[in-house]
Structure 1
Amino acid sequence: MEGTSSPELAATAAVFASEARASMLLLMLDGRAWTLTELSKTASIARSSASEHADKLLDVGLVEEVRQGRHRYLRLAGTRAADLIESLAAFTGRVRPARQSLDAQHRDRAMREARTCYRHLAGKLGVALTDGMRAQGFIESDFSFTPPGRAWLASLGIDLPKHPRRTLARPCLDWTERREHLAGLAADMLLATLRENAWIEIVPSSTRAVRLTAAGREGLADLLLADPSNDDLG
């Protein structure tokens, strides 16, 4: 109604109307803190321009600043910011193709195969594991974990909290696969465990792309073999 209070949706949405800021936000989806110099290189802009864009992202609360001495770092302001960026990426039907160079094509394929999305796993591998959880009866149609699912997580050393402050598990539309992968606290804990067990490893020259190791392929075989089309993962 006219005259009532309302959220400043336009102001927040406006920060995404910049290719430079969008590039900076997508880079920060790896969960790390980045310097302005690094962000400016990613967005192909001057450092001074990156600083101006950073201030706008700070104003709407999408990022937070970390200072160490004279150095200024920026990172996403938590899971809500990451979820918003990922949701927008999945919502758009337009995808800018990778450059035609062989190196760019290899990096693009690696990102589509498996990548981290803030604190959970995305890409073809993320979707495949979610499909496997369904096939094994580990998650329900509403993405809640069944007793066998909780037992499987416990076998990996993951004990889900009884009173979580965040949603344990929820579907998240994968922007490359156009299908759902697992998100939420349980997905964050699973990614952390996959890293600790060395079941996945970072792809060289990448900040977000990962791949299955031999140990990971063996440890997750029951889930991945639930769908024969997943044989080429890793």
Structure 2
Amino acid sequence: MREGPDIARIGSLIGDPARANMLTALMSGKALTATELAAEAGVTLQTASSHLGKLQDGGLVTQTKQGRHRYFTLAGSQVSDVLEALMGLAARSGHLRTRTGPKDPALRKARICYDHLAGDTGVRLFDSLYERGFLTVQPEGTAVGLTDSGSDFIEGFGIDLLSLKKGRRPLCRACLDWSARRSHLAGALGAALFERMQTLGWARRDVNSRAILVSPAGGRAITEWFPIQADIKI
């Protein structure tokens, strides 16, 4: 047997349809119970508990007990990064599931992707930062850097950039948006931008889905702070 990381085990854990649905549900960043995850996966509670045990043993989810309930979350941003990459690869390769419904337009406009903003609004932020020279993007599209002028802009927006840089998480990362087929901003900066928008009252999470609800005033503010002058392709 060859030495090194066992990607086959991780692949098999994610590759099961029921477990994939559970992991996708946890991309909302919320802690969910086994019952809620069973509903997401379309399986019985007993089956869901078995799947969750495997995911926990594999280091993909963690659980916290509160009272009579056990809550499950993704085991950190590394797991969400892998899931985002796989979702982007699936979208780029044309492997999409069709699920229509009244929430679809809202999800496409703005949704949470673990802890950062995705959908059309998330793509707008990324495009605006890149267009104005605040971000650098390498040809392969995933390596993203923040320029000096970008740092000034981010700090002017009320984000403590120094604290973000001290963390272990990558500051900037491009994530291929499955609905827009374009990049939105992930990493510590992507999370901080969304947190700042919530603090300003521009946006809030829909408690019943992954949709992000942007207020009319918030929509105007986002347009002012993150203008787009041209139709760019990144």
TM-score by length of 1: 0.87
**Match of residue 171 from structure 1:** 174
Change (3 A) 1:114 1:10: same
**CA distance in structure 2 between the aligned counterparts of 1:214 and 1:151, rounded to whole angstroms:** 27
**CA distance in structure 2 between the aligned counterparts of 1:187 and 1:209, rounded to whole angstroms:** 16
**CA distance in structure 2 between the aligned counterparts of 1:139 and 1:223, rounded to whole angstroms:** 15
Structure 1 contact 114–121 (Cα < 8 Å) conserved:
yes
2:65 is paired with a residue whose SS is: strand
**Match of residue 153 from structure 2:** 152
AA aligned to 1:108 is D
**CA distance in structure 2 between the aligned counterparts of 1:36 and 1:118, rounded to whole angstroms:** 18
- State the Cα distance separating 1:80 from its structure 2 match: 0.4
**CA distance in structure 2 between the aligned counterparts of 1:190 and 1:227, rounded to whole angstroms:** 21
- State the Cα distance separating 1:174 from its structure 2 match: 1.2
Moved more, 145-154 or 191-200: 145-154
How many correspondences in the alignment?
221
Aligned ranges 1:78-89 → 2 under 5 Å:
78-89=76-87
1:16 is paired with a residue whose SS is: helix
Q: State the 4+ residue runs in structure 1 displaced beyond 4 angstroms.
A: none
1:10 is paired with a residue whose SS is: helix
1:175 is paired with a residue whose SS is: coil
- State the Cα distance separating 1:30 from its structure 2 match: 1.1
**CA distance in structure 1 between the aligned counterparts of 2:150 and 2:209, rounded to whole angstroms:** 30
Moved more, 135-144 or 167-176: 135-144
Structure 1 residues 19-53: Cα deviation after superposition (integer angstroms, max 9, x where no partner): 21111111100111111111111112111111001
**Match of residue 192 from structure 1:** 195
**CA distance in structure 1 between the aligned counterparts of 2:8 and 2:147, rounded to whole angstroms:** 41
Name structure 1 gaps, 5 residues minimum.
Answer: 230-234
**CA distance in structure 2 between the aligned counterparts of 1:227 and 1:212, rounded to whole angstroms:** 22
**Match of residue 69 from structure 1:** 67
Aligned ranges 1:51-130 → 2 under 5 Å:
51-92=49-90, 93-99=94-100, 104=101, 106-130=102-126
**Equivalent of residue 210 in structure 1, options 205, 209, 212:** 212
AA aligned to 1:220 is I
**CA distance in structure 2 between the aligned counterparts of 1:45 and 1:163, rounded to whole angstroms:** 42
2:36 is paired with a residue whose SS is: helix
AA aligned to 1:155 is G
Structure 1 residues 42-95: Cα deviation after superposition (integer angstroms, max 9, x where no partner): 112111111001011111111001111331111000000011111111111211
**CA distance in structure 2 between the aligned counterparts of 1:52 and 1:115, rounded to whole angstroms:** 29
AA aligned to 1:208 is R
2:191 is paired with a residue whose SS is: helix
Name structure 2 gaps, 5 residues minimum.
Answer: 139-143
Moved more, 116-125 or 144-153: 144-153
Change (3 A) 1:144 1:228: closer
AA aligned to 2:98 is P
Please say if 1:139 is aligned against 2:135. Answer: yes
Structure 1 contact 33–75 (Cα < 8 Å) conserved:
yes
Structure 2 contact 129–226 (Cα < 8 Å) conserved:
no
2:185 is paired with a residue whose SS is: strand
Structure 2 contact 34–49 (Cα < 8 Å) conserved:
yes
